[in-house]
């Protein structure tokens, strides 16, 4: 918003329309899906999905949206020729380019003391919810050899996950981020475990092959232990290369402004990866202290943020105000 206000006040109406938008549920922190806002704009999702997705308390996404009144918002600078558009659907087919400014969420820029990251690509992601079902039984009276312990089976699966990811090597990463044990009492053998998987790689073929091999390994462990296994995909995004012309423009701007920069791949997911197949897209990173994000400890200095803002503003000027 600051960049758009500056451009409007300094240079007046642009030749091409600029818009700023805040997307909801990029992270998928409450509901088992990600990119809800940008996914509706780009066509990844249809509205009906909101009725079939629920949080751990059973509240559907549609119910949660209705409870907060939905609402629309944003800030827009219209070009001289623009007459606006209707709001009958979130999906857009008229977006010429997409640019996103973000903290790195990593430590490379901080460690190298460079001001700007010019993102070359965003890693693809696969997310799954996994349910392992055994038999809940008394912890004191059930012999070890006769148990169908869902948690013990899950533990073996998670160790296999870590070993497989380490063997695959960088840039593949794999994480089990949430674990729910049922019934979750000290004197009962766990009869069911639900957990999440988050797997990422910048090459689509290697991402797919890892996920297939992991599913087979989980299936072998479950069968050997007499457990039932359900593995449900909840997110599948392809690796997203950024537009090279826009990357080149960002590098040129950094040189003109005397800023240090580095080319880099984003292991974190961003809305930009949904736009990259639809239109030219670019991402600008600024350093984040210790790589910490989504935490009260997240921090980027005012000077670091200002550097990113200045690079963003210069790119938007080139895209919207220059004749060619």
Exposure of 262 in the CB half-sphere (CA atoms within 13 A): 15
**Hunting for tokens 């509706």 — which residue is that?**
40
The DSSP line for 190-205 is --EEEEEEEEEESSHH
Rounded to a whole number, what is the distance in angstroms from the first to the last CA of the chain?
A: 24
Of the listed ranges 41-50, 84-93, 244-253, the one predicted with least confidence: 84-93
Band of the pLDDT at 78, cuts 50, 70, 90?
A: low
Per-residue pLDDT tens for 247-304?
Answer: 999 999 999 999 999 999 898 889 999 999 999 999 999 999 999 998 999 999 999 9
Q: Are 98 and 90 in contact (CB under 8 A)?
A: no
b/e 5-32 (16+ beta carbons within 10 angstroms → b)? eebeeeeebbebbbeeeebebbebebbb
Examine the pLDDT at 305 and tell me if it is beyond 60: yes
Contacts of 308 (CB under 8 A, 6+ apart): 101, 116, 284, 285, 286
pLDDT at 62: 86
pLDDT at residue number 80: 47
**Rounded Cα distance, 34 and 176, in Å:** 16
Question: How confident is the model over 196-245, as pLDDT tens digits?
Answer: 999 999 889 999 999 999 999 999 999 999 999 999 998 888 899 999 99
Give the residue, 116 or 43, on which the prediction is more confident.
116
Tens digit of pLDDT for each residue in 149-193?
A: 999 999 999 999 999 999 999 889 999 999 999 999 999 999 999
**Can you give the pLDDT at residue 73?**
39
Tokens of 77: 């600078």
Which of these ranges, 21-25, 73-77, 141-145, has the smallest mean pLDDT?
73-77
For residue 258, the model assigns a pLDDT of 98
Q: Supply the pTM of this predicted model.
A: 0.73
89-146 per-position pLDDT tens digit? 788 999 999 999 999 999 999 999 999 999 999 999 999 999 999 999 999 999 999 9
In degrees and rounded to multiples of 5, residue 75 shows phi and psi of -135, 140
CB 319 within 8 A of CB 282: no
- Among 18-32, 69-83, 168-182, 216-230, the range scoring the smallest mean pLDDT is 69-83
What average pLDDT does the segment 10-24 reach?
A: 94
Domains, in order of start, for the chain: 96-123+239-320 (3.40.630.10), 124-237 (3.30.70.360)
Q: Is the confidence at residue 85, as pLDDT, over 70? A: no
pLDDT of residue 79 exceeding 90: no
């Amino acid at each position: 918003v600051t960049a758009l206000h500056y451009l409007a006040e300094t240079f007046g109406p642009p030749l091409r329309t600029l818009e700023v938008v805040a997307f909801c549920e990029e992270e998928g922190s409450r509901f088992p899906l990600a990119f809800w806002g940008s996914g509706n704009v780009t066509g990844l999702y249809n509205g009906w999905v909101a009725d079939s997705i629920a949080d751990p308390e059973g509240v559907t996404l549609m119910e949660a949206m209705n409870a907060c009144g939905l609402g629309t918002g944003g800030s827009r600078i219209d070009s001289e020729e623009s007459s606006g558009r209707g709001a009958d659907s979130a999906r857009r087919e008229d977006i010429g380019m997409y640019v996103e400014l973000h903290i790195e969420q990593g430590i490379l820029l901080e460690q190298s003391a460079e001001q700007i990251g010019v993102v070359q690509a965003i890693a693809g992601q696969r997310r799954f919810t996994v349910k392992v079902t055994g038999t809940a039984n008394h912890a004191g009276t059930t012999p070890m050899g006769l148990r169908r312990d869902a948690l013990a089976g899950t533990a073996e699966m998670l160790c296999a996950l870590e070993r497989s990811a380490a063997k695959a090597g960088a840039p593949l990463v794999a994480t089990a981020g949430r674990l729910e044990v049922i019934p979750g009492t000290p004197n009962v053998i766990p009869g069911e475990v639900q957990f999440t998987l988050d797997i990422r790689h910048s090459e689509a073929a290697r991402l797919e092959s890892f996920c297939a091999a992991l599913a087979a390994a989980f299936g072998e462990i479950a069968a050997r232990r007499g457990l039932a296994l359900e593995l449900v995909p909840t997110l599948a995004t392809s690796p997203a290369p950024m537009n090279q012309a826009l990357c080149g423009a960002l590098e040129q701007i950094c040189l003109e402004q005397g800023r240090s920069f580095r080319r880099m791949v984003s292991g974190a997911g961003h809305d930009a990866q949904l736009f990259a197949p639809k239109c030219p897209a670019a991402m600008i990173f600024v350093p984040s202290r210790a790589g910490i994000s989504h935490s009260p400890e997240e921090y980027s200095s005012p000077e670091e943020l200002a550097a990113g803002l200045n690079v963003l503003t210069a790119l938007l000027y080139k895209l919207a105000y220059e004749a060619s």
